Amino acid sequence: MTDSYYAPVVHVADERDEGRMLRDVLRKRLGVSRRLFVKLKQSEEGLTINGEKAYPSFRLAIGDVVEFRMEQESSEDILPQPIPLDIVFEDEHLLVLNKPAGIIVHPTTGHYANTLANGVVHYWREKGESCRFRPVHRLDQDTSGLVVIAKHPYAHQQLSVQMTEGTIEKRYRAYVFGRPPQEAGEVNEPIGRVPTDPHRRAVLADGAPSLTFYEVSRAYPCGASALDIRLGTGRTHQIRVHMGWIGCPLLGDSYYADPQWEATELAALVKDAIGRQALHASLLAFRHPVTEERLELRAELPPDLQELERTLEGLPPL
């Protein structure tokens, strides 16, 4: 076997597969996309059963060891740069990072360097791995926390299905002005793009369905709150928009700042404590796309949010 392939995805046939054609098991049981299936068929070493080259029409018996291998790819358009990475989890299929605030996940127009992608591509090159940069989801530039990157197409496809089905659990810690209307509740309001500003989002009647769950973790005497937030959907700027909608905009969020809150004494007192939206992706839980093991990964609060907590705890009632 050449080294131009990713680590194989292995499946041992059981009674549900007995007598079924390989193509049916790959497509219907393992969820291999049509596009990837075509690539596997065309690849010289893409499909094997019990170590021997296999064809899609081969019928399986109980105990047959099915392996499929994808040819390696790379992100030639991304400049490798030595950027420090906080790796939370890694195997031959996935890389999960704790992204610091202030860094963009993927290069965009005008931001070709100093992104998370630049650092990951350099890291892989140093390890001798050839992978295309495939983030399963993204975080805003000034949001810190967990980001999942798939190392090959099948892992990306399977995790994308979980994202679409809402089975990936995503939890955040947010620090907001004010108090939510309930100690624990939900915001179920549609979010759409603001016509006059393509980057801005808002609650709009014709927006996409959007659901956010929140729970008050700490109510500070000064009038701020720490919230534990769970996403029911994954819209752009969802937490920032929904929290503003219920009258609790995020501390430090200049883009979605509420003028009334920004004019308060509390805003002045925390101005130097946080220089970005006070939002951190603290937990991700999902089914591993290959082993199907449940993974629950956490990222501790970064130093700036720890400092913000200390500041809020020390402020008197305002």
Domain spans, the chain:
9-68, 87-165, 169-297
The whole-angstrom separation of Cα 229 and Cα 74 is: 35
pTM summary value: 0.90
In the chain the first and final C-alpha atoms are separated, in Å, by 68
At residue 83, what is the residue type?
Answer: I
Summarised one tens digit per residue, pLDDT across range 73-82 is 888 889 999 9
178 Rama sector, left if φ>0, alpha if ψ -120 to 50, beta otherwise:
left
Residues in the chain with pLDDT values less than 70: 1-3
Of 209, 227, 210, 231, give the one whose Cα is nearest residue 218. Answer: 227
The whole-angstrom separation of Cα 36 and Cα 94 is: 18
Per DSSP, the residues of 140-182 read -TT-EEEEEEESSHHHHHHHHHHHHHT-SEEEEEEEEES--SS
CATH number of 87-165: 3.30.2350.10
- Strands 144-150 and 279-287 turn out to be parallel
9-68 is classed CATH 3.10.290.10: yes
Residue numbers annotated as active site: 140
Summarised one tens digit per residue, pLDDT across range 111-165 is 889 999 999 999 999 998 888 999 999 999 999 999 999 999 999 999 999 988 8
- Here the contacts of 200-206 (C-beta below 8 Å, separation 24 or greater) are 200/237, 200/255, 201/235, 201/236, 201/237, 201/238, 201/240, 201/241, 202/241, 203/241, 203/242, 203/245
The class (CATH top level) of 169-297 is alpha beta
Same fold, 9-68 and 169-297: no
Q: What is the pLDDT of residue 3?
A: 65
> Do 258 and 249 contact (CB within 8 A), yes or no?
yes
Alpha helices for the chain (secondary structure H): 22-24, 34-42, 116-127, 153-165, 238-245, 259-262, 265-270, 303-314
Cα Rg for the chain, rounded, in angstroms? 23
